[in-house]
Amino acid sequence: MITKRIFGQTKNGEKVDLFTMSNTQGTEVDIITFGATVQSIRTKDKNGVSGDILIGFDTMEGHENYSANQGMTIGRYANRISGSFTLDGVKYELSKNEKGITNLHSDGEASQRVWSAIIADDNRLEMSLKSPDMTSGFPGNIDMTVTFTLFEDNSLRIDYYAKADKATPINMTNHAYFNLGGSEDILDTVLTINADSFTPTDENSIPTGEIRSVEGTAFDFRKPKKIGRDISENDPQLVMCGGYDHNFCLNEGDGAVITAFDEKSGRVLEVFTDMPGCQLYTGNFLDGTAPGKGGVKMQKHAGFCLETQFYPDTPNNPSFPQCTFAAGKAFESTTVYRFSVKNG
């Protein structure tokens, strides 16, 4: 079932709607049209008590004044590009919204806009957005669509689709910050990532081009371990970022590529995706100043993100899996988040 109500309005006076998707298992997902944002996900814990497993904001004021992309759809290019790229012999200078050096999350091309929405079925919501040529410096008028579907097995499926009238890089994702147990931080969350390698970065969080083995490093999550176990190691990659803010090169195979488990609540999150990478971000830059839901200030490591994606700065790294799509050729991708509980 899907219901609709008004969430608020932007500073510019645009109306923002909120849609609540629910199933018969008691799982509920709230999505707002500003940024095609997953506002809340309420799931039951091992005692049958429902709780919101996302950190974020209760109001439009929070989203517009304090947001670090909590729950938002990111596009046309998720993650970072090192300020420019060359395509078909033309150099495109991008807006540099991070440190005046890099382009992060397309400078809000998708996340800071109000999307159009239609209820496509009793468990499916479709949102769409048109963005003009040269937005944030990217070539091509682009149509983006994101479809959210909530199933009876407590899976939330997100389908991404985009097509432009010029060749352009496309790399869409969702930027939800998970906190499965409602704890002050997520350092005790047990995480498993099916990835043998990751992409180390320079001081501006741009990949160096190296694909480095996780073997013997703090980045080895191939066996379950707590996020906080190695996060304070004296590894230059962790020190630079204040924790994990890195792309993992996902292994191919059936089943979940990532699993997160919170022992206190018993909640389990499994991630399935057809994308080659996933950015693990552990909320390193949350500093306790942003008032989140219920007025609670979001502290460092208050949530973790699992941003399924092509690798960062792909247009400048020809050895990475490529994501430049010719005019009229569609970008299509699917990521599924499945929720369950277990004891112990």
Per-residue model confidence (pLDDT) at position 124: 98
pLDDT tier at 343 (50, 70, 90 boundaries)? confident
Average pLDDT of the chain to the nearest whole number: 97
In angstroms, what CA-CA distances link 158 with 37, 145, 219? 12, 10, 27
Q: Which residue has the tokens 């939800």?
A: 176
Active site residues: 175, 307
* C-alpha span between 159 and 97 (Å, rounded): 27
The full set of domains in the chain, from first to last, is 2-341 (2.70.98.10)
Q: Smallest Cα–Cα separation from 20: which of 38, 34, 8? A: 38
165: left (phi over 0), alpha (psi -120 to 50) or beta: alpha
Please compute the mean of the pLDDT values over residues 320-332 and round it to a whole number.
98
Per-residue model confidence (pLDDT) at position 66: 96
* C-alpha span between 65 and 71 (Å, rounded): 15
pLDDT tens digits, one per residue of 206-262: 999 999 999 999 999 999 999 999 999 999 999 999 999 999 999 998 899 999 999
Count of C-beta atoms within a 10 Å radius of residue 301: 23
* C-alpha span between 131 and 172 (Å, rounded): 14
Percent of the chain at pLDDT > 70 equals: 100
pLDDT tier at 344 (50, 70, 90 boundaries)? low
pLDDT tens digits, one per residue of 26-42: 999 999 999 999 999 99
In angstroms, what CA-CA distances link 257 with 151, 223, 252? 20, 12, 8
pLDDT tier at 14 (50, 70, 90 boundaries)? very high
Per-residue model confidence (pLDDT) at position 254: 85
Q: Which residues pair with 36 in a beta bridge?
A: none
Tell me, yes or no, if the pTM score tops 0.75.
yes
Burial of 265 (C-beta count, 10 Å sphere; 0-12/13-18/19+): buried
Side chain identity at residue 217, one-letter code: T
Bridge-based pairing of strands 15-22 and 2-9 is: antiparallel
Peptide bond just before 76 cis, omega within 30 deg: yes
- For residue 293, what are the contacts with CB-CB under 8 A and spacing of at least 6? 52, 55, 56, 57, 58
Residue count of the chain, please give it.
344
Please compute the mean of the pLDDT values over residues 74-96 and round it to a whole number.
98
Check whether 13 has a pLDDT greater than 90: yes
Per-residue model confidence (pLDDT) at position 328: 98
